[in-house]
């Protein structure tokens, strides 16, 4: 026996589990502490790896890595664990604690192992565990392939807008996702607002302003909105598997997606149009989020620069009865960046809103809202896209049968990719050409306007008219819309 066996050893405890549940770690630590107390061993360090797999590499951020460093520094002599599987399921890790690399004395409580006496059983159990891991991985891969053929997603984080259905509650179709209508309304709003021109930041601001939040209860941010717009799951498309740790929504090829066995929240055309505006574009998580109707849209009549929103403040004079001044108040204004004016914005917003509602209420509004598509039929475009995807799939099938045909098929594949890319651009163009189709047939346009998001109202203004604000002189107040009309120039676009 080594001196460490006869002397009172300095003990380090190691606890690990794959799931993020504190209870399992606590139980392992308690059992090891009790064993150390029973043997009158002194515990000098404890290491815990929660939510850490035993068959995968454990890097510098794990307590396993820290534990090896502490042993090298001479902090402890003996490593105490409850079971071999808590230590590792990989022979590579065992070699990290065994000679010649290191000579760590490992004691396993439940299996009665002490490597200072014999390390054969420890290595044998780890080899068996490693073999079981490989068998399970092969079984899981086969199950995943079969599941994918049926259009079912794997277990994991369920997208916002859906609810995961556990196995006992699945119907005959074995569907894993069902639509959560409360969350799905957020998803539909995100796609609708984005396709009428709202920025990511503006959509996030509007969602937060409406009292909506992410599933975790957090405020919406532009990166949350971007991920939803990029995700094929919302059009009931199952993307191909990506390498572990390298998941990227931007790298997903929609042509390689397969139909999912769940209900879509948005149309495929909406997904294509949204991704067409985002893929290949550097994310701008600080996208401009407007708070007022005309900021950045209206221009100054003098210099033609876009106006900005600002906050004005009243400066009341003293009351005639000598009781002092009225409280100062802050109000919304528009200002020229070159200093030509700073005007009360509320009355201008109300005036422009009234013009928009009046124009949308006219008899020819429907024709304006849904322009001619020049013969482009979205369903026909979609059918054409499916035919191109089928052709590409057939080419890949030929290559699988005879890899020598790859060179001959390369030109054909490139041609199909070009056609698909052109078709997706056409779908994006046609989809974006009718951004206000949901307004057609609305009887109470004023009610629609009041319930619309700021992004949607701004899109309507930009679609219908150009607005130019004139200086009115310092201290002048406008009493009504007739006076506003004289100082706000509106030119119809349609």
Query: Which pLDDT does position 1 carry in this prediction?
Result: 46
Question: 64-69 long-range CB contacts below 8 Å, 24 or more apart?
Answer: 64/14, 64/16, 64/93, 67/12, 67/14, 68/96, 68/97, 68/102
Confidence tier at 396 by pLDDT (50, 70, 90): low
Give the integer Cα–Cα distance in Å for 299 and 468.
Answer: 5
Q: Which of 126, 106, 94 has its CA nearest to residue 13?
A: 106
Give the distance, in angstroms, between the CA of residue 492 and the centroid of all CA atoms in the same chain.
Answer: 38
Render pLDDT for 52-72 as a digit per residue (tens, 0 to 9).
876 677 888 899 999 999 999
Query: Which pLDDT does position 246 carry in this prediction?
Result: 67
Query: Which among 273-282, 286-295, 310-319, 461-470 has the top mean pLDDT?
Result: 461-470
Give the integer Cα–Cα distance in Å for 253 and 256.
Answer: 5
Q: What integer best gives the mean pLDDT of the chain?
A: 82
**Tokens found for residue 471:** 């200086």
238 phi and psi, to 5 degrees?
A: -95, 110
Query: Which pLDDT does position 147 carry in this prediction?
Result: 67
Query: Which pLDDT does position 4 carry in this prediction?
Result: 46
**Tokens found for residue 133:** 């891991």
Is the distance from CB of 126 to CB of 96 less than 8 angstroms? no
In which element (H, E) is residue 310 found? Answer: strand 308-313
**Tokens found for residue 56:** 């995968």
Confidence tier at 332 by pLDDT (50, 70, 90): confident
Confidence tier at 364 by pLDDT (50, 70, 90): confident
What does the pLDDT average to over 138-167?
A: 77
Question: 27-33 long-range CB contacts below 8 Å, 24 or more apart?
Answer: 28/81, 28/82, 28/86, 31/82, 31/109, 32/80, 32/81, 32/82, 32/109
Cα angle 468-472-475, degrees, rounded to a multiple of 5: 140
What does the pLDDT average to over 81-94?
A: 84
Angle between helices 406-432 and 378-401 in degrees, nearest 10: 160
What does the pLDDT average to over 79-103?
A: 86
Does residue 229 surpass a pLDDT of 90? yes
Confidence tier at 286 by pLDDT (50, 70, 90): very low
Lowest mean pLDDT among 50-59, 151-160, 183-192, 368-377: 368-377
Give this prediction's pTM. 0.57
In which element (H, E) is residue 131 found? Answer: helix 120-149
Q: Which of 157, 18, 12 has its CA nearest to residue 72?
A: 12
Give the integer Cα–Cα distance in Å for 422 and 446.
Answer: 39
Give the integer Cα–Cα distance in Å for 180 and 184.
Answer: 6
């Amino acid at each position: 026996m080594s001196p460490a066996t006869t002397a009172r050893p300095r003990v380090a405890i190691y606890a690990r589990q794959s799931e993020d549940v504190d209870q399992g770690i606590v139980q392992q630590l308690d059992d090891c502490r009790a064993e150390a107390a029973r043997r009158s061993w002194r515990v000098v360090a404890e290491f815990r790896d929660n939510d850490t797999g035993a068959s995968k590499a454990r890097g510098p951020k794990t307590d396993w890595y820290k534990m090896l460093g502490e042993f090298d520094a001479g902090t402890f002599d003996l490593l105490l664990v409850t079971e071999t599987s808590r230590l590792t399921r990989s022979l590579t890790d065992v070699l990290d604690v065994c000679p010649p690399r290191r000579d760590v004395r490992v004691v396993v409580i439940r299996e009665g192992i002490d490597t200072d006496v014999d390390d054969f059983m420890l290595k044998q159990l780890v080899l068996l565990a490693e073999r079981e891991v490989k068998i399970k991985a092969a079984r899981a891969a086969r199950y995943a392939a079969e599941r994918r053929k049926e259009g079912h997603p794997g277990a994991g984080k369920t997208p916002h807008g859906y609810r995961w259905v556990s196995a006992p509650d699945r119907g005959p179709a074995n569907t894993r996702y069902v639509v959560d209508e409360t969350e799905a309304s957020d998803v539909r709003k995100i796609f609708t607002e984005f396709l009428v021109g709202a920025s990511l930041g503006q959509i996030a601001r509007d969602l937060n302003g409406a009292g909506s939040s992410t599933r975790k209860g957090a405020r919406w941010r532009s990166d949350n909105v971007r991920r939803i717009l990029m995700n094929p799951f919302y059009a009931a498309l199952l993307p191909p598997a990506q390498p572990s740790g390298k998941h990227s929504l931007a790298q997903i090829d929609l042509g390689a997606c397969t139909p999912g066995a769940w209900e879509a929240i948005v149309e495929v055309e909406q997904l294509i149009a949204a991704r067409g505006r985002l893929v290949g574009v550097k994310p701008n998580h600080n996208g401009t989020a407007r708070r007022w109707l005309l900021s950045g849209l209206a221009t100054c009549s003098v210099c033609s620069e876009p106006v900005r929103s600002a906050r004005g403040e009243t400066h009341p004079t003293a009351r005639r009865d000598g009781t002092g001044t009225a409280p100062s108040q802050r109000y919304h204004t528009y200002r020229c960046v070159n200093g030509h004016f700073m005007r009360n914005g509320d009355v201008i917003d109300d005036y422009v809103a009234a013009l928009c509602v009046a124009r949308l209420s006219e008899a020819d509004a429907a024709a304006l809202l849904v322009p001619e598509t020049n013969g482009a039929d979205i369903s026909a475009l979609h059918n054409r896209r499916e035919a191109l995807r089928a052709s590409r799939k057939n080419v890949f099938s030929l290559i699988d049968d005879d890899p020598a045909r790859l060179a001959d098929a390369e030109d054909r594949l490139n041609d199909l990719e070009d056609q698909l890319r052109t078709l997706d651009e056409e779908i994006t163009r046609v989809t974006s050409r009718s951004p206000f189709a949901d307004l057609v047939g609305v009887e109470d346009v004023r009610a629609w306007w009041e319930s619309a998001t700021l992004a949607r109202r701004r899109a309507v203004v930009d679609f219908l008219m150009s607005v130019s604000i004139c200086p009115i002189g310092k201290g002048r107040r406008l009493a009504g819309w007739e006076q506003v009309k004289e100082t706000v120039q509106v030119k119809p676009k349609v």
